[in-house]
Amino acid sequence: MFDLIVGTINNLLWGEGQILIYILLFTGIWFSVRLKLIQILKFKHMFSLLRTSSKCDKNDISSFQALCTGLSARVGTGNLAGVAVAISLGGSGAIFWMWMIAILGMATGFAESVLGQVYKVRDSNGEFRGGPAYYIQQGIGSKTLAIAFALCLFLGYGFTFSAMQTNTITDALNYAFEIPTFYSGIVITILAGSIILGGFKAIARFAERVVPIMSIVFVLAAVIITIINFTQVPAMLKDIFLSAFGLQEAGAGAMGAAIKNGIQRGLYSNEAGAGSVPHASACATPIPNHPVTQGYIQMLGVFFDTIVLCSCTAVIILLANVDISGEMEGIRLTQEAMTAHLAQGGVYFVAAAITLFAFTSVVANYAYAESNLHLFKLDNKIGRGIYTLLYLSMMMWGASATLKEVWDLADIALGLMTVVNVIAIIILTPTILAVTADYNKQRAENTEPEFDANKVKIQGKTEKGIWH
């Protein structure tokens, strides 16, 4: 019965119904048009904000820390195992559609991150909290829709995604070192627990230290592999583009599989439109002190996650002479590809990389769901204790679950979150445009942008004392 329910919902969202594919394409195009191709025309400015992104008071969370926290959730299983799943089920053409959804998703990610900042609140500890549930409740005025999103978030980031990340880590370690999944699951759960008990600031500091290093090492490995196999690159690119449009011998059926799997895994990797990253965005104290600053910083996160890191994994797989069966293959396909390039050392490299990538995701996922405890008045010792226990228990379950079980549950949770969040950000488009126009106006006047909610026409209300 459980498998039937899961299968039916996923088929509606991602399968024959393909509701989410149409929703995400529409949303990406909508914000790309309404924000005047901000992800392309403001590309240079997006990078320029990195110079001041690490500045903040010692008791606050900087924009750079929020970016790293967002990346630590994004950069994980989706980058190494998710790309392998996309290629194994959709062929090399899936990578093209992953790129397309990322470019469109940059505008969507900008929009939702701006809202995360505009409608953030302070919790009982004086820390900033925010995200879709908050901007739905304050901006739209719908507590019912806010609770619906929060419940979907708890299903996904609170429980399912941690199980999926743990499953990938334990599978990679078992394949590389023959470590029983149960024992590695125990160690991972204990290590994660020791970090998440320190709260969002501890998680942000952990992400700031780990994410840049592990990302640079992985990118360098992909660059070296590309240089070594440079003569094969033109044929690889040709295959990606031809397969994306069904121009290979398999035809239209292959094109459909490429689009579906490319968009599905692209979304899972960069999370644009899913409503997860606004939780990290809301916790930051941006410099300049304007919501749009964090919108640009998190838009950069979408670019780096999918256009850079997912492409690195795709290059590693597609330049390797490995058999792609057409059945669902996860992290082991990436390990086999790396082994083809680096011999047995490739298995160990990928095992180490996925352990770090997925582990940082486990830690950040906890923070996203924990942010919504405030919404239910459960941000106290008892509420956090119960949530933490359930979260760690799901990690242990994921250590020994099957690949299909955890990915199916993850797809449902991500899909439901995305539907609710997209409805909200479309409704709140006037606020996004007004806040962005305010930022652009101040920059055109050569003044440091400062946001005052009393001077900008926004929907609903913001918390007093933050932007007033």
Model pLDDT for residues 369-418, shown as the tens digit of each residue? 887 887 777 777 888 888 888 888 888 887 776 656 666 777 787 788 88
Examine the pLDDT at 234 and tell me if it is beyond 60. yes
Rounded CA separation 460/397 (Å): 41
Average pLDDT, the chain: 82
3-state DSSP helix/strand/coil % of the chain, to nearest 5? 75, 0, 20
pLDDT above 90 covers a percentage of the chain that reads 19
Counting Cα atoms < 13 Å in the Cβ hemisphere of 114 gives 30
Supply 283's token pair: 């916790």
Examine the pLDDT at 228 and tell me if it is beyond 60. yes
Question: Any residues with CB less than 8 A from the CB of 388 and at least 6 apart, and which?
Answer: 193, 196, 197, 366
* Nearest partner of 115 among 132, 140, 92, 97, judged by Cα: 132
Examine the pLDDT at 299 and tell me if it is beyond 60. yes
Supply 293's token pair: 């600053």
Task: For residue 422, name the pLDDT band (cuts at 50, 70, 90).
Answer: very high
Return the minimum-mean-pLDDT range out of 48-62, 115-129, 310-324, 391-405: 48-62
Rounded CA separation 182/210 (Å): 25
Examine the pLDDT at 436 and tell me if it is beyond 50. yes
Rounded CA separation 146/132 (Å): 7
Q: In the prediction, which pLDDT does 251 show?
A: 47
Question: Is pLDDT larger for residue 454 or for residue 68?
Answer: 454
Task: For residue 1, name the pLDDT band (cuts at 50, 70, 90).
Answer: low
- DSSP 8-state assignment for residue 456: S
Rounded CA separation 342/346 (Å): 5
| Tens-place pLDDT, residues 116-172 | 999 998 877 777 888 899 999 999 999 889 988 888 888 887 777 788 778 878 887
Rounded CA separation 407/404 (Å): 5
- Find the helix packing angle between 403-427 and 252-270, rounded to 10°: 80
Examine the pLDDT at 427 and tell me if it is beyond 90. yes
Rounded CA separation 371/199 (Å): 10
Examine the pLDDT at 335 and tell me if it is beyond 60. yes
Rounded CA separation 75/184 (Å): 21
DSSP H helices in 53-142: 63-74, 77, 83-90, 93-118, 132-135
Length of the chain: 468
Q: From residue 336, give the alpha-carbon distance in Å to each of 126, 131, 216, 261, 377.
A: 48, 39, 21, 21, 47
Rounded CA separation 295/200 (Å): 20
| Tens-place pLDDT, residues 262-277 | 877 777 677 788 888 8
Calculate ∠ Cα 68-69-70, nearest 5°.
90
Task: For residue 430, name the pLDDT band (cuts at 50, 70, 90).
Answer: very high
Q: Is the CA virtual torsion 299, 303, 306, 312 positive or negative?
A: negative
Question: Any residues with CB less than 8 A from the CB of 67 and at least 6 apart, and which?
Answer: 53, 280, 297, 298, 300, 301
Using DSSP, state whether 128 is helix, strand or coil.
strand
420 Rama sector, left if φ>0, alpha if ψ -120 to 50, beta otherwise: alpha
Cα first-last separation, the chain: 52
- DSSP 8-state assignment for residue 154: I
**121 sits in which H/E element:** strand 121-122
Q: Are 112 and 424 in contact (CB under 8 A)?
A: no
Task: For residue 438, name the pLDDT band (cuts at 50, 70, 90).
Answer: very high
Q: Are 246 and 96 in contact (CB under 8 A)?
A: no
75 Rama sector, left if φ>0, alpha if ψ -120 to 50, beta otherwise: beta
